[in-house]
Amino acid sequence: MEQSQHEVINPNQGLLSFLIVHDNQDSTYISPHWHRAVELSYTLKGSIDQFYVAGENFQTHSGQILVINTQEVHSIRVLKHKEESNLALTITYPYPFLIGQCEKIAYSRFDINHPEQFSAEQKRAYKELQKILEKIVLDCHSDRFDKNLKLNLGILKALEILIDFSWWMIFLQLVGIIVCKLLSALKRLTNICSNITKTISIWKIWQHIAIFHVLIWLDF
């Protein structure tokens, strides 16, 4: 069994996040690893044959977005057998940067890996995110003087949309607290019922003893 490695993510110079465009045809294997940063992967052309995220395997296609949440173990394998060239984008948001933009992200999970479950509004947001990511790739290949500015704007816009696909872990924590309290109350109720049963049993014993004494007295 392969062991996952921890990876430290630092942003590119002049950018708010780590950003890379993958445009080679070579076979690629990235062993299981994790990091506190949140990673976004966008397949523009071709496919990623095996993209494992938290135990779930994806075979990506053109236009597909995957998000790896903080501390989720993931690995990638790309095989060299395709006619179409691969083109993909990776944006990795450092954890301190994310918390600096929105503290609630510390208690949230981004849920975007299953677009077939989206509402109509989420589907529109997904398409908007695709456009932003495609623009980022174009800006990466640009030699404009304001290239980093445009890339940082794209990075922030993508994050803004991602937040719409998040749900707060604090809600689950509250549910967990409520469940624990209910279980504790149920345990107390069970103990009370058990004690009542014991009390009834003792009362019956005393009744039998009293009847026994009465019978003895009648015999005399």
* Residues 54 and 153 reside in one and the same domain: yes
Q: Rounded CA gap, 149 and 182, in Å?
A: 52
User: Residue for token digits 């005399």?
Assistant: 220
How many domains, in total, are found in the chain? 2
* Angle between helical axes of 120-140 and 147-163 (0-180°, round to 10): 160
Q: Does one domain contain both 22 and 104? A: yes
Distance CA(9)–CA(35), nearest Å, equals 7
pLDDT digits (tens, 9 = 90+) for 150-199: 999 999 999 999 988 876 544 445 555 566 666 776 777 776 766 665 55
Structure tokens at 38: 């949140």
| Mean pLDDT value across the chain | 81
Last residue of a domain, one of 144, 164, 184: 164
Query: 27: domain CATH number?
Result: 2.60.120.10
- pLDDT tens sequence across 88-123: 999 999 999 999 988 888 888 898 999 999 889 999
Mean pLDDT, rounded, for 214-220: 49
pLDDT score, position 105: 83
Q: Which residues is 108 bridged to in the sheet? A: 168
pTM of the model: 0.72
Rounded Cα–Cα distance for residues 54 and 32 (Å):
10
Which pLDDT does position 197 carry in this prediction? 59
Co-location of 104 and 190 in the same domain: no
Q: With a cut of 70, say whether residue 147 has pLDDT above it.
A: yes
CA distance 14 to 153: 12
Closest alpha carbon to 39 in 71, 77, 4: 71
Residue 42 pairs with which residues in a beta bridge? 65, 89
Q: Give the residue carrying structure tokens 């179409």.
A: 84
Please tell me whether residues 26 and 89 are part of one structural domain: yes
CA distance 92 to 45: 20
Residue 95 to residue 20: CA distance in whole angstroms: 18
- CA torsion 143-16-23-43 (nearest 10°) is -130
179 shares its domain with 160: no
Tokens read off for 115: 């677009």
Host domain of residue 201: 169-220
114: helix, strand or coil: coil
Q: How many residues make up the chain in this entry? A: 220
Same domain, 158 and 54: yes
- % of residues, the chain, pLDDT over 70: 72
What is the distance between the alpha carbons of residues 156 and 51, in angstroms, rounded to a whole number? 25
